[in-house]
């Protein structure tokens, strides 16, 4: 019986850590407020807001902009600081990747790649914060305002929320469509979908292939990032369920290995953004 209770407690622990702090409209009462259970959050539907995802990603994005802006104002060629050297090395790294993969002329691509790379690294890095720290802090804040601590959810890593990863990928997708039409013209873009790769006689087949290829771009961007970070978070949560004396022996090696995943996923997302933007600017076949 105790084993069964432990399993129930473990299941509740996992569900609690995977549930977002959701704000939306209760379908029964029509009142807007915070969801108290996972089912309530689900019933709120598509128009609900994940406040933890929005809050953490906004704060990290603001810190990124503030840090780069403050260092940029103090930049000097005579005696550069360590922070300036660090930023310059990142900018040079992004610039090399853009020059190696992007053949068009668009001054927005490099800043877009830089923003995606740094912002995703910061969001992914939240996975290295011990899983109980920020949820516990959120619970204490909730208790201060009179909330039941069991009804206060806080999901720490924005990139483990598909709403965040799809939000970024859809933004990139809109830019792909915009520049495809701008560079190739509406007719050229339509011709690419209708007549490539097998010519006019295979129009339905061409449209199917190119349509799937086009839609696969934002889907692959979003799901690759979400899947890898979600799996990493699940492992940290499962390690947290183990006895204390085992946790550190497992969590430290996994955290060190996870640093590679944090950086690699940001690099892959950035590289695909550059490649997709290059494809949107290609006009050779039109």
Instruction: State the pLDDT at residue 6.
Output: 59
Distance CA 124, CA 268 (A): 13
Range with the largest mean pLDDT of 2-11, 74-83, 157-166: 157-166
Q: Is 99 one of the catalytic residues?
A: no
Q: State mean pLDDT over 143-164.
A: 91
Q: Is 228 one of the catalytic residues?
A: yes
Q: Is 5 one of the catalytic residues?
A: no
- Distances 272 to 59, 94, 109, 152, 275 between C-alpha atoms, Å: 25, 13, 12, 37, 5
User: What is the widest separation between alpha-carbon atoms in the chain?
Assistant: 71
Instruction: State the pLDDT at residue 196.
Output: 77
**Quick check: 10 pLDDT over 50?**
yes
Q: State mean pLDDT over 101-118.
A: 95
Q: What strands, in cross-sheet order, belong to the sheet with 32-34?
A: 32-34, 22-25, 49-50
Ordered DSSP codes for 49-66: EEHHHHHHHHHHHHHHHH
Instruction: State the pLDDT at residue 156.
Output: 94
Closest CA to 213 of 176, 171, 256: 176
Instruction: Report pTM.
Output: 0.92
Which range among 3-12, 43-52, 111-120, 144-153 shows the weakest confidence by mean pLDDT? 3-12
Query: pLDDT category, 267, cuts 50, 70, 90?
Result: very high
Instruction: State the pLDDT at residue 195.
Output: 84
Catalytic residue among 26, 106, 163, 220: 220
Catalytic residue among 20, 97, 124, 228: 228
The answer for residues whose C-beta is within 8 angstroms of residue 276's C-beta and 6 or more apart is 172, 176, 217
- Residue 275 in contact with residue 101, Cβ under 8 Å? yes
Instruction: State the pLDDT at residue 246.
Output: 86
Instruction: State the pLDDT at residue 284.
Output: 59
The answer for residues whose C-beta is within 8 angstroms of residue 175's C-beta and 6 or more apart is 112, 277, 280
Ordered DSSP codes for 177-202: HHHHHHHHHHHHHHHHHHHTTT-GGG
């Amino acid at each position: 019986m105790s084993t069964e209770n432990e399993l129930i407690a473990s299941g509740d622990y996992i569900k609690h850590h995977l549930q977002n702090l959701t704000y939306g409209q209760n379908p029964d009462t029509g009142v807007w407020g915070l969801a108290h259970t996972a089912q309530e959050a689900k019933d709120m539907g598509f128009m609900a807001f994940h406040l933890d995802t929005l809050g953490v990603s906004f704060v990290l994005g603001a810190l990124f902009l503030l840090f780069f802006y403050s260092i940029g104002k103090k930049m000097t060629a005579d005696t550069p600081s360590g922070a300036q050297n660090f930023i310059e090395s990142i900018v040079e790294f992004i610039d090399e990747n853009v020059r190696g993969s992007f053949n068009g002329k668009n001054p927005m691509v490099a800043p877009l790649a830089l923003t995606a790379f740094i912002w995703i690294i910061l969001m992914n890095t939240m996975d290295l914060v011990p899983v109980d720290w920020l949820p516990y802090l959120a619970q204490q804040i909730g208790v201060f305002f009179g909330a039941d601590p069991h009804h206060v959810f806080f999901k720490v890593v924005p990139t483990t929320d598909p709403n965040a990863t799809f939000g970024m990928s859809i933004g990139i997708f809109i830019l792909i469509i915009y520049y495809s039409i701008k560079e190739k013209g509406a007719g050229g873009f339509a011709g690419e979908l209708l007549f490539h790769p097998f010519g006019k006689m295979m129009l339905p087949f061409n449209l199917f292939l190119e349509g799937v290829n086009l839609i696969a771009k934002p889907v692959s961007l979003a799901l690759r990032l979400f899947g890898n970070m979600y799996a990493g978070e699940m492992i940290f949560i499962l390690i947290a369920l183990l006895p204390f004396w085992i946790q550190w022996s497992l969590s430290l090696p996994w955290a060190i290995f996870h640093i590679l995943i944090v950086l690699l996923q940001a690099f892959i997302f950035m590289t695909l953004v550059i490649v997709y933007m290059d494809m949107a600017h290609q006009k050779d076949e039109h």
